[in-house]
Structure 1
Amino acid sequence: VVSVLEALCRARGFDIIFLPKFHCELNFIEQCWGFAKRMYRMKGSSSSEATLEKNVVDSL
């Protein structure tokens, strides 16, 4: 049975990958997000908004 989402995406040439629920280790974006958070924590404290913005951009 094809869902409405699958039908719409296939009609537009997109591929959909359904990942298992509650298995974040299989989702690549979760690993990227975890790496970015780890890099941000290594930057030290962000005492001003400008420093915060720079640290976030540098971490990504």
Structure 2
Amino acid sequence: MTNFYVEGGIFKDLADPAPISGTEERYGPFPSEQEADKVWRARMADKIDICNHRLRVIKRDA
């Protein structure tokens, strides 16, 4: 079974692969990419003014 997650946070800079401690975000699992994408869009819109805020949809097989 495939699940989708929305993961990310606020990053010190775009070259750093890990978010700043305490800013990590994770939502899911979602059964479809479309459902995860809806959450991704809503969460990105909430922090649109923070230029180092990044989230992405991750696909994981169980």
Same fold (TM over 0.5): no
TM-score scaled by length of structure 2: 0.32
TM-score (norm 1): 0.33
Say which structure, 1 or 2, has more relative contact order (CA 8 Å, 6+ apart). 2
Higher helix proportion, which one? 1
Structure (1 or 2) with the greater strand fraction: 2
